[in-house]
Amino acid sequence: MLKHLKKNTFQGFIIKASVLYGICYFLYEFIIKRYTKADQLFIREIINFCRWLIEQFGYKTFASRDVNDIQVFGIDGSNGVWIGGPCNGITLMFLFAIFVIAYPGNLKNKLWYIPLGIIIVHTINIIRIIALAFIAYYDYHYLDFNHTYTFTFLAYIAVFGLWMLWVNKFSTYQRIEK
């Protein structure tokens, strides 16, 4: 079976990615979120950075403290946006890293590409949260659509694009021409 997986890169990738995702999901959902405050501290740091950025443009902001694993952040005069575990971008960072780890490639390249990709995914998530805060401030009824569709689509496209860049530019997988 291992010989077959080495010959069939796609099947090997799917199996490796599935196992890694299962492990990460288990660790995150059942250990990190349940027994630590790491998730909430990460959300708090995201909020602090978003607040600082928005305040540089002269807006006053507000943020709530941890209430039932959800924190609220926004621009004064708005209802703000709720930020919970699914909104902190950790799952997308895991997904990106898993895609790169599971696909063939030079370890040296993976060691710089994964942190760079995680920084890019984190930056996109911060931009997403700031954009949602402005949408909540200027026209709240567009918030749900943009949160659910626009920014989810853009975030997953970014992760897919980073992975495709890995596959096409940095992967060691050689296509066999027939």
* Bridge partner list, 83: 71
* 170 DSSP assignment: I
Question: What pLDDT, on a 0 to 100 scale, did the predictor assign at position 176?
Answer: 45
Question: What pLDDT, on a 0 to 100 scale, did the predictor assign at position 51?
Answer: 96
Task: Write down the pTM of the prediction.
Answer: 0.86
Question: What pLDDT, on a 0 to 100 scale, did the predictor assign at position 177?
Answer: 47
Please check the confidence at residue 157 and state whether its pLDDT lies above 80: yes
Four-residue CA torsion sign, 123, 45, 112, 27: negative
Given the structure tokens 């960072």, which residue do they identify? 93
Asked which of 10-14, 40-44, 55-59, 63-67 is least confident by mean pLDDT, the reply is 63-67
Q: Please state, rounded to an integer, the average pLDDT across all residues of the chain.
A: 89
pLDDT tens-digit map of 119-155: 999 999 999 999 999 999 999 999 999 999 999 999 9
What is the distance in angstroms between the CA of the first residue and the CA of the last residue of the chain? 23
* Bridge partner list, 63: 73
Which sequence spans correspond to the domains of the chain? 8-170
Please check the confidence at residue 4 and state whether its pLDDT lies above 80: no
| High-pLDDT (> 70) share of the chain, % | 90
Report the C-alpha gap between 53 and 20 in whole angstroms.
35
pLDDT tens-digit map of 86-125: 889 999 999 999 999 999 889 999 999 999 999 999 999 9
Question: Other CB atoms closer than 10 Å to residue 100's CB: what's the count?
Answer: 23
pLDDT tens-digit map of 47-88: 999 999 999 999 999 998 766 667 899 999 999 999 988 889
Rounded to 5 degrees, φ, ψ at 81 are -125, 145
